[in-house]
A and B are shown apart, each in its own frame.
Chain A
């Protein structure tokens, strides 16, 4: 196991290097932000002055080397627009995204796993079909449509919850809860659908195994059979989907953050792309790549914890 962890940590280096090269080159191909920075009425001379001041007139390889050396020192650079360090900007925005991801995953798992087990247990009955209809709907309804619908119902009509915003739970937990409910419901829908389907398929497969029949023959109550024997043995594919879900969620959070005006990483990256703020885009993509690699490592480690047959 320690060997696996070390090996996987080392493997992040070439992955991040490839990501860094690709992102850096693609951004340079897309043009530079000097004209945006200089403003609408800037003359060509002023735009060129900005370009020189930012070092954007230097050869690309020289800019790349400078940036890589900076990154190796743990410095992701500074925003070309605000002048703030990228790490500061990520630090300002990571909490809302992390909290939304956390509440979404927890809520999705709490709802989807029992639903999936229920559908498997009552396979081919109306219960099963109802769960699967919900799953198809969950996949099909775009996040922004669901978001606006929930906002209309709970914020505008019923006046129960605020339309937008984010408050840290460490500042005001009540406000945090009120503001996070609708985004969580919106974003959870697709993950509930995904996890419920996989759970159903996995549990159904396990329910046909001999040891389940044995457990039932021994007189175990059905709840124990389902959740202790069946679900535990069906857990590996479910954990895989949950893990991938977390990774996908980081990308998918952009729309939800926009609809509910949550100042998270998703909006930070979109704003940076719109302005061609290179250091932020580069820093964030590197950061996301690192998170993905770490998530995959955690999933692998979870396999071993769940299934004693898996050893690294």
Chain B
């Protein structure tokens, strides 16, 4: 377990020091928590409940509590059967027969049926980027009897199980057919939260923006294998899990110090050193994949449509400066010069030399050669998410230093989400760049990574268009061997760094804070099975 090194202290340090008594009994002051209920501060408010309707990470985490998946990824990022007992693949690779485990039941007591699962896959396949791609290869997704799902392809596809077993948003969760048959624009309500997962959603206790309650599903039959990431036996040792939303990080800190909560999903980097000094509290990073920051360009309009301008910006950015600004310390940041998260299978060096050693002079040269004429460059500057705000400060300063006429327009993230859908020129409300980040689990390969898509209208916001990249992504998806995939991943990255549809801003980590009496936490995304609370 990694304990963080104490550093600078202020008022909050005094708070933490005083919390030295945190391990002492609180008596009347301690909030009343039934033993065995894990009180959690989640990273965001849960408002939308349907995990197919949106890509929010909080909805994914909620989904993992109440739903189960046919396949799931273990901590080695390998796909393992979960609800499935096994899969038979025909010799020509065109038919997948997925059989269900015995004893699977929905929370309402009815048995899980293969038709439920087939419809769940179809619903997910209409929304998720990787799912949409999978379904271009699917002729039919149906069932054979009550326990076999049959997927028939029109041509071989190498990522069938990786798609169905994908770790992050949108996860193909299984749900009963009365819900999985619904159109994707029709979101599931609190009363419709019926899954087959290890926890049950308590609809009556749902207070959007304040509190979400899950209770242990006593009928859940876990697999025999040990839990590993999203795979393996989902053995629940808790009576339930309660998500309590806190709007204020200082109150979150104090509530963890006094034991009013047990688990703080994402401790802000500036508070982590303080949390590390609090008696009875641990801080640890359970997400080795971390998050990857991105400065996303609008490839359609204005200066950002010019690959030379994008390359000049990428050439100038210094990842270490960016990470120090964003998360305060390299303890929580890591330079990463690959479009895939460093430390994962497809991370590589191809084409990345030009961003390893930032050079402002060379960036100015590239900018001059690009034909940039001082046109206004609109940055949608988020003000309410500290990591993004800090990233943007450094990026804007760097861009100005190489001679770009930056118009940084301050706004909240909700406004960024609205504004960035505009394809208009900058003089008519359009934009050139915004900053965001993705969890590493969403960037593992060129297909799962939606930010890598370059299919114009079908691509992620920014509407990158590059048939070469799209062809290579398709080849990757159809590749028959890992060697072939590795080679293609390198070529795709090399091509991507020629185009720079976004600039990579480094990898950073958000640790979890938890009380001493909590153990058995698995790797992220936060999973709540396997956890014990003494």
Across the interface, which residues of B come within 8 angstroms of A33, CB to CB?
Answer: 414, 418
Question: Contact between A83 and B189 (Cβ–Cβ < 8 Å)?
Answer: yes
Asked if B26 and A274 sit within 8 Å, CB to CB, the answer is: no
The stretch among A46-54, A184-192, A230-238 that forms the contact with chain B is A46-54
The A/B interface has a contact count, at CB < 8 Å, of 159
Contacts of A52 in B (CB 8 A): 185
Cβ of A210 within 8 Å of any chain B Cβ, yes or no, is: no
Closest chain B residue, CB of each to CB of A175: B32
Chain B interfacial residues counted at CB < 8 A = 68
Q: Does B14 lie at the interface of the complex (its beta carbon under 8 Å from any beta carbon of A)? A: yes
Question: Is A50 touching B185 in the complex (CB atoms < 8 A)?
Answer: yes
A240 within 8 A of B: no
Assembled-state Cα–Cα distance A283/B49 (Å): 22
- Nearest to A270 among chain B residues (CB) is B247
Contact between B258 and A84, CB atoms less than 8 A apart: no
Closest to A36 in B: B417
Cα distance A33–B53 in the bound complex, in angstroms:
14
B463 nearest in chain A by CB position: A44
Interface 9-residue window, one of B204-212, B374-382, B507-515: B204-212
Q: A268 to nearest B CB, angstroms?
A: 7
Q: When A49-B185, A271-B45, A274-B414 are in contact, do A259 and B251 touch as well, CB less than 8 Å?
A: yes
In the complex, residue of chain B having the shortest beta-carbon distance to the beta carbon of A45: B457
- A105 and B438 CA atoms in complex are apart in Å by 47
Tell whether A107 is near chain B: CB-to-CB under 8 Å: no
**What's the minimum C-beta distance from B26 to chain A, rounded to whole angstroms?**
6
Determine the chain B residues whose CB is within 8 A of the CB of A302 once the complex forms: none
Take A49-B185, A276-B414 as given contacts and tell me if A155 and B258 are in contact as well, using a CB distance cutoff of 8 Å. yes
Query: Is residue B275 contacting chain A, with contact meaning CB distance below 8 A?
Result: no
Interface of A is mostly: helix
Tell me if B258 and A163 are in contact (CB < 8 A): yes
Whether A267 contacts B210 in the complex (CB less than 8 A), given A46-B127, A164-B260, comes out as yes
Give every chain A residue within 8 A of B19 (Cβ-Cβ): 156
Cβ contacts B109-138/A at 8 Å (1 or 0 each) = 000000000000000000101000000000
Near B by CB (< 8 A), chain A positions 9-53 give 30-33, 35-47, 49-50, 52-53
CA distance A49 to B14 in the complex (A): 51
B458 within 8 A of A: yes
Contact B458 A152 (CB under 8 A): no
- Considering residues A32, A40, A276, which has the most beta carbons from chain B within 10 angstroms of its beta carbon? A40
Complex: chain B residue closest to A254, CB-CB: B247
Contact residue range for chain A?
Answer: 35 or more
Is the pair B457, A275 in contact by a Cβ cutoff of 8 Å? no
Residues A39 and B54 in contact in the complex (CB < 8 Å), given A50-B185, A267-B247, A274-B412: yes
In the bound complex, residues from chain B placing their C-beta under 8 Å from that of A165 are 31, 244, 260
Q: State in angstroms the CA–CA spacing of A271 and B169 once bound together.
A: 23
Q: Is A159 an interface residue (CB 8 A)?
A: yes
Closest partner residue, chain A, to B25 (CB atom): A159
The reply to whether B251 and A260 form a contact with Cβ atoms under 8 Å apart is yes
Which residue of chain B lies nearest to A39 when distances are taken between CB atoms in the complex? Answer: B55
Q: In the complex, how many angstroms separate the beta carbon of B258 from the nearest chain A beta carbon?
A: 5
**Interchain CA distance A156-B26 in the complex, whole Å:** 10
Interface residue B398 (Cβ < 8 Å from any Cβ of A): no
Which of B45, B129, B257, B438 neighbours the largest number of chain A CB atoms within 10 Å of its CB? B45
Contact (Cβ within 8 A) A35 B48? no
Bound Cα distance from A161 to B260, whole angstroms: 11
Within 8 Å of chain B (Cβ to Cβ): is A135? no
Q: Report whether A31 and B415 are in contact in the complex, using a CB–CB cutoff of 8 Å.
A: yes
CA A155 to CA B30, docked complex, whole Å: 9
Cβ contact within 8 Å between B209 and A267: yes
Q: Does B250 contact A (CB under 8 A)?
A: yes
Give Cα A153–Cα B45 distance, bound, in whole angstroms: 29
A-B contact pairs, 27 of them (CB 8 A): A30-B415, A35-B417, A38-B55, A39-B169, A41-B450, A49-B184, A50-B185, A53-B185, A79-B47, A82-B48, A89-B208, A92-B210, A152-B14, A155-B254, A155-B258, A156-B18, A156-B19, A159-B29, A161-B29, A163-B254, A164-B246, A164-B260, A165-B31, A172-B32, A261-B251, A263-B211, A275-B414
Q: Which 6 A-B pairs have the closest CB atoms?
A: A39-B55, A263-B210, A81-B47, A31-B418, A39-B54, A53-B185
